[in-house]
Amino acid sequence: MKMAVFLGCTVPVRNLSYELSAKRVAGELGLELVDIPDFSCCGYPVKSVHHETAYLLAARNLALAEERGLDICTLCSACTSVLTEVSRELATNEILLDETCKSLGMLGRQYSGKVKVKHFVRVLYEDIGLGTIEKAVKRPLDMFRIASHYGCHYLKPSKIYDGFDHPEAPESLDRLVAATGAFPVDYRTKKDCCGGAILGVDEETALSMARAKLDDISNRGADAINLICPFCSVMYGANQRKIGAGLNVKYDLPILYYPQILGLAMGISHEELGLMQNPIRPRALIAKIS
Amino acid sequence: MLQDTGKEPRIGVYVCHCGLNIAGVVDVEAVRESARFLEGVVVVRDNRYTCSEVGQKGIADDIREFKLNRVVVASCSPRLHEKTFRTLLEKSGLNPHLLEMANIREHCSWVHYDNHEAATGKAKDLVRSSVARARLLQPLARTKGRVLPEVMVIGGGVAGISAALYLGGMGIKTYLVEKEPSIGGHMAMLDKTFPTLDCSLCILSPKMVEVAECENIKILSYSEVEKVEGQVGDFRVQVRRKPRYVNEEKCVGCGDCAEKCPVKVKDEFNRNMGTRKAIYIPFPQAIPPAYVIDEHNCRYLTQGKCKICQAVCERGAIEYDQTSYVETIEVGAIIVATGFQPYDPRGLPQYGYGRFPNVITSLDFERLICADGPTYGKLKRPGDSTVPKRVAFIQCVGSRNEASGGAEYKIDIDEEMGSSAGSRDPKAYCSRVCCMITAKQAFMVKEKYPDAEVYVYYIDMRTAGKGFEEFYQRGRHEGIVFLRGKPGEIEEQEDGCLRVVSEDLDSGCILDLVFDMVVLAQGLTPPEGLVEFAQKMNLSRSEDGFLMEGHPKLRPAETAIDGIYLAGCVQFPKDIPDSVAQAGAAAAAAAVMCSKESIEIDPLGPVIDDKLCIGCKLCEMLCPYGAIKVELTDKGPKAKSIEVACKGCGVCGASCSTKAITMKHYTDSQLTAQAKAILEVV
Amino acid sequence: MESVRRKDVPVVTVLDPKFKYEVAREPGGENIKYCFQCGTCTSGCKVAELDSKYNPRKIIRMVILGMRERVLSGDFIWLCATCYTCHERCPQDVRIPEVMNALKNIAVREGYIHPAFRAQAELIAGHGRLYEVDGFANEKRTDWGLTEIPQGCPEVAEIYGITGLHDLLSGGAGGKV
Ligand SMILES: Cc1cc2nc3c(=O)[nH]c(=O)nc-3n(C[C@H](O)[C@H](O)[C@H](O)COP(=O)(O)OP(=O)(O)OC[C@H]3O[C@@H](n4cnc5c(N)ncnc54)[C@H](O)[C@@H]3O)c2cc1C
Ligand code: SF4
Ligand code: SF4
């Protein structure tokens, strides 16, 4: 299986360990991820400012993948949502496709509506499959309790995701965690949003949203949060100290990207998975495993 | 005194204004003028109301004066007035089948209300094509059909029971077909009924006994309709009788068998909250009062050994060798009263039904609070059998829901409950009875447990009905709190209690409350299998999925098919009084039908040219009604039409590869002329 | 009456009945008129729970009533976290976060862009991405064995030109921002 990997804005600059581990694990599982250097921002951040621009940015990215005859595999959930939405719109709405093609033409590009988009983790869940993943596990992580944060755009709006998992009772991440041998921690605020999208508008509210979850997960005695989106990582990783500082508490909740968890279980060394490069260094976790 | 139609066609065209219904959009004068010089047209007129006395008289006068031999009326749907104008033609000495109607209201002014010009253009096209077809119309002789003075009622809920009693009371032989082992329907499952709070079975069971005792009514319980043939006055219905394995005549309902039966299974009558035996009676007042063996769970029938019930039954009523069989019953009219099935809230997993034991539905609640229910009338929450002190009701679960934003999910949360649970797609319509059901149930909690805190989350309270608003007021007076604002989800806490967050629209606060039990007011959805059932009966369904009435205002208990009537929730959700009232209307309509000596049958259906028929059986394979069969004749295998079964759908005519079949009144030449005319560029 | 009114009682005397149609014409706003004010959206909204300025149901109500200026100039429309919780549950398929996007799009055209969103849009125009991939970043990438990424993406600026966002942001061609 071969797909174009769409890194988006944040991952290639701020979450290198996510990219690194995803590519590493993909290689082991027979998923070839092809870089397309010309990809730009997916379009998501401008959707609320200028719809048409967002759509055209997304369409251009889709066109780049189509030129190479590849479907897109994404690492960021926000990229997943806008690219999926636009790919589906363009595949079904001929008028929109026509108009979009006219604009793409001005850039010397074209698009026929063929590219499909999937989040990396969804590819693991649906295409690689839990069975293959379980077989690839060499070092079951049964010493860890891991709480998954689904985030919003990985599952919602569910209409564009063919119902591969249920946003009201999600289970794909927990099952993927369980496949590595780790214990999937259930917690009350599991479905809640990280708040990242309004960090620039109302920092207090955004951080409070993140905090609610940090509290909940810490109280559940989880060893780490499982993340699949660099946006959420900003909230739980980069901002974890800031949230704690405001409250005079010190959270020490490592964040791990799912491919890192899987990679560890597959016996890949933590260096190769960039664990120490994560925003919260998971020292205790690494000690426990080795 | 049919006119000779071999003569040149002389057509009159009448374009109707229908007040402003048509004229408000379509330029009626222009349509009239467009028809003036069409071939064969002798006279054109427009009328304010063609169906009025004046309008009809005008046509009759023209037929006489201009010696018309065809009439085209451009007005509303033929479903409304074809009969009116056919009768008029007949009275004026013309064969009724020489009428052609162009529907320029439903097909034109109503749907294209926002484009007058295009609507007028389309109306002209429709009139032109109707004239083209009218030129080729042929007089047809109607046949007389017999009318059997017997009626079948399908579905033995309160609607079906009431209809059967009305008919039986009029001396009309009535068959009451019920798929379950007992009649009674949903009303038998209810504890009390709004707004008077009478005990449901106390008022229903006398009616059920009356049915059993009425000599004109025959109950066919544990039976389902398999096939319906024929037409108004003369239906042949094949009913599949499922084996009870208990002789209905011999069983006295003593219950010795069930006491000894070793197999316990979930009791569907108690919404799977209690248990019953493999030989059982659904509820003590069941009619017929006979036990039944559940063949999927009986140890003898599944594993070949046991026979305990046979050993203990003193009456020798157990008959393991019973098999299912088909009984054919001939009736003149049919009333469909197959009711509803409650919405299955697992389609809205945010409310946790099926996952959280203390989230129940309104029908579950009826069983929980009923003295004959699994808890003997003590309200105990299913999770831990404690009595809830804080109870919340959430309205509109599965109703008034255009689309839960979500997709069809592949994963399934809980398959435990099986198929009896009902449809999971949320419905756009208001289920009409849930507001009052909830008000009633909230009241019942307060009545039994005055200290309980009871909250009702609603979007709108709809209490239009005799005594309904007063009942709602009484509920408030008892201290029930009605909250405007629908919660988005239910969360389960570790102690099994349920956290409900909502926006209280009236105080402007976000309410974050915890309850011991939550009752979801599930909507009412079309009964299981209605799609296939409607196909069997050739009945249409409305957009909401229920069976379509003959006319939404004027024929609410009829259907588009003569001789088939509707009663109760199968037409749309309604309460008991409305179900009974509609049953009365359906019974009256069926009785009127059955009192006729004979009826005239439209001469539709195939005419088969034996010279062209090659006996290929294509028509036989395609006919949905089994109304055409290939038989061996001395000229080889030839298709034969079975007139009583034919509904005139035309599939055979359209499919015949050698064009051996001509449909009466819808001949190829008529239809081609019509199509050509509509495509003509003018 | 006018003279004795107090400030803390919001009295609205002028409504713009056309506003709801305007929003319904905007991509994402199509279903706004279906709203029957059930409150499901607000009941599950984490932002509304934390910030009293934000209430999706009320915003939709204000649009349907036609409080155009108040809605478009308000900072509250920028508070939706686009988590889609309400979108999944709204019984009338109003698609609230998309409605919020529609409102924000109109607001931008009317000259009310939130500074954080303006900054993002400008960054993307400049670098093709939210974050600049400079030499330092690429060096780190190559160290890690990851492919280099070109600095900037001129086609993105071209896209802003084609769609008119460039003019909007720079205040030209009718843009009020
Ligand atoms: C929880 C709840 C509480 C209610 N409380 C009240 C109340 O207090 N007051 C009130 O007025 N109304 C109440 N109602 C409404 C009331 O139940 C209905 O109005 C009434 O049951 C409708 O009767 P029916 O005969 O149309 O349908 P049903 O009761 O559904 O009966 C239909 C019958 O047809 C049978 N059937 C179905 N398909 C077939 C088939 N293919 N062949 C043969 N038989 C078939 C079924 O087995 C059933 O016996 C309540 C409803 C619910 C869900
Ligand atoms: S959930 Fe939908 S219908 Fe209900 S108030 Fe919100 S937008 Fe309106
Ligand atoms: S999408 Fe916006 S309005 Fe809806 S719940 Fe999330 S933050 Fe609130």
H-helix or E-strand spanning residue B85: helix B78-91
In this prediction, residue B231 carries a pLDDT of 85
Rounded mean pLDDT, B439-443: 98
Residue B411 has pLDDT above 80, yes or no: no
The answer to whether the complex's ipTM is over 0.90 is yes
Residue B592 vs residue B5, higher pLDDT: B592
Strand partners, A117: A72
Residue ranges making up the domain that contains B618: 602-664
pLDDT in tens, B461-506: 999 999 999 999 999 999 999 999 999 999 999 999 999 999 999 9
CATH classification number, A2-118, choose in 3.40.640.10, 3.40.50.300, 1.20.1050.140, 1.10.3720.10? 1.20.1050.140
Residue B1 has pLDDT above 50, yes or no: no
Residue B2 has pLDDT above 70, yes or no: no
pLDDT in tens, C30-64: 999 999 999 999 999 999 999 999 999 999 999 99
For A241-246, the CB contacts below 8 A with 24+ separation are A242/A207, A243/A207, A243/A210, A243/A211, A243/A214, A246/A207
Is A186 an 8 Å CB contact of chain B?
no
Residue ranges making up the domain that contains C25: 19-109
Report how far Cα B639 is from the mean position of its chain's Cα atoms: 34
Q: Are A237 and A210 in contact (CB under 8 A)?
A: no
Report how far Cα B345 is from the mean position of its chain's Cα atoms: 22
pLDDT in tens, C76-95: 999 999 999 999 999 999 99
In this prediction, residue A244 carries a pLDDT of 86
In this prediction, residue B107 carries a pLDDT of 95
| B459 shares a domain with B419 | yes
H-helix or E-strand spanning residue A255: strand A255-257
In this prediction, residue B417 carries a pLDDT of 42
- From residue B526, alpha-carbon distances to B638, C161, C169 in Å are 42, 54, 54
CATH of the domain at B115: 3.40.50
In this prediction, residue A47 carries a pLDDT of 96
Residue A58 has pLDDT above 90, yes or no: yes
CA-based nearest distance C48→chain B, Å:
9
Q: Under the phi-then-psi rule, with left for phi > 0, alpha for psi from -120 to 50, and beta for the rest, what region is B538? A: left
Ligand 2 site, CB within 6 A: C 35-41, 57, 60, 86, 90-92, 94, 96
Residues of chain A with pLDDT > 90, as a percent, come to 93
Cβ-defined contact of C39 to B503 (cutoff 8 Å): yes
| C105 shares a domain with C24 | yes
Residue A249 has pLDDT above 90, yes or no: no
Give the C-alpha separation, B364 to B367, whole Å: 5
Strand partners, A92: none
In this prediction, residue B601 carries a pLDDT of 81
In the block, tokens 């629908």 appear at B486
Residue (of B440, B354, B434) closest to B399 by Cα position: B434
Cβ-defined contact of A161 to B409 (cutoff 8 Å): no
Beta strands in B207-353, from DSSP E residues, in sequence order: 217-220, 223-231, 234-241, 264-266, 275-277, 279-280, 292-293, 325-331, 333-336, 341-342
Residue A245 has pLDDT above 90, yes or no: no
In this prediction, residue B6 carries a pLDDT of 56
| B626 shares a domain with B511 | no
* Residue ranges of chain A that CATH labels 3.40.50.11810: 138-289
pLDDT in tens, B259-306: 999 999 999 999 999 999 999 999 999 999 999 999 999 999 999 999
Which range has the worst mean pLDDT, A200-214, B409-423, B587-601?
B409-423
For B92-97, the CB contacts below 8 A with 24+ separation are B92/B59, B92/B60, B92/B63, B92/B64, B93/B1, B93/B3, B93/B63, B94/B2, B94/B3, B94/B63, B94/B68, B94/B69, B95/B2, B95/B3, B95/B5, B95/B139, B95/B140, B96/B142, B97/B137, B97/B138, B97/B139, B97/B140, B97/B603, B97/B665
| B488 shares a domain with B374 | yes
In the block, tokens 């108690």 appear at B270
Q: Is residue C56 part of a domain?
A: yes
Residues of A in contact with C51 (CB under 8 A): 202, 205
* Residue ranges of chain A that CATH labels 1.20.1050.140: 2-118
| B349 shares a domain with B289 | no
pLDDT in tens, A82-124: 999 999 999 999 999 999 999 999 999 999 999 999 999 999 9
Rounded mean pLDDT, B653-675: 93
What is the 3-state secondary structure of B107-143? HHHCCCCCCHHHHHHHHHHHHHHHHHHHHCCCCCCCE
In this prediction, residue B481 carries a pLDDT of 97
Closest residue (by CA) to atom 3 of ligand 2? C35
Give the C-alpha separation, B626 to B643, whole Å: 10
Strand partners, A148: A226
Residues of chain B with pLDDT > 90, as a percent, come to 90
Which residue from C116, C121, C155 is facing A201, i.e. has the nearest CB?
Answer: C116
Residue B418 has pLDDT above 50, yes or no: no
CA-based nearest distance B484→chain C, Å:
7
CATH classification number, A138-289, choose in 3.30.750.24, 3.40.1360.10, 3.30.365.10, 3.40.50.11810? 3.40.50.11810
Report how far Cα A244 is from the mean position of its chain's Cα atoms: 24
Band of the pLDDT at A260, cuts 50, 70, 90? very high
Is B486 an 8 Å CB contact of chain C?
yes
Residues in chain A: 290
| C23 shares a domain with C38 | yes
Chains that touch A (3 or more CB pairs under 8 A): B, C
In this prediction, residue B404 carries a pLDDT of 55
Please state at what angle helix A77-92 crosses helix A51-67, rounded to 10 degrees: 80
| B347 shares a domain with B292 | no
Which residue from B405, B409, B489 is facing A157, i.e. has the nearest CB?
Answer: B405
In this prediction, residue A265 carries a pLDDT of 97
Which range has the worst mean pLDDT, B52-56, B141-145, C99-103?
B141-145
What is the 3-state secondary structure of B156-216? CCHHHHHHHHHHHHCCCEEEEECCCCCCCHHHHHCCEECCCCEEHHHHHHHHHHHHHHCCC
Residues of B in contact with A122 (CB under 8 A): none
Final residue before a domain boundary, out of C64, C92, C109: C109
Band of the pLDDT at B416, cuts 50, 70, 90? very low
In this prediction, residue C177 carries a pLDDT of 43
Residue B670 has pLDDT above 90, yes or no: yes
Amino acid at A159: K
Residues of chain B with pLDDT > 70, as a percent, come to 96
For residue A192, the CA-to-ligand 2 centroid distance in Å is: 19
Residue B203 has pLDDT above 60, yes or no: yes
pLDDT in tens, B68-94: 999 999 999 998 899 999 999 999 999
Give the C-alpha separation, A245 to A248, whole Å: 5
Q: How many domains does chain B have?
A: 4
Report how far Cα B101 is from the mean position of its chain's Cα atoms: 29
Strand partners, C77: none
What is the 3-state secondary structure of chain C? CHHHCCCCCCCCCCCCCCHHHHHHHCCCCCCHHHCCCCCHHHHHCHHHHHCCCCCHHHHHHHHHHCCHHHHHHCHHHHHCCCCCHHHHHCCCCCCHHHHHHHHHHHHHHCCCCCHHHHHHHHHHHHHCCCCCCCHHHHHHHHHCCCCCCCCCCHHHHHHHHHHCHHHHHHCCCCCCC
In this prediction, residue B233 carries a pLDDT of 93
Rounded mean pLDDT, B334-358: 96
In this prediction, residue B662 carries a pLDDT of 93
Q: What are phi and psi of A185, to 5 degrees?
A: -85, 130
In this prediction, residue B5 carries a pLDDT of 54
Q: Is residue C95 part of a domain?
A: yes
Residue A21 has pLDDT above 90, yes or no: yes
In this prediction, residue B410 carries a pLDDT of 44
Residue (of A41, A36, A44) closest to A4 by Cα position: A36
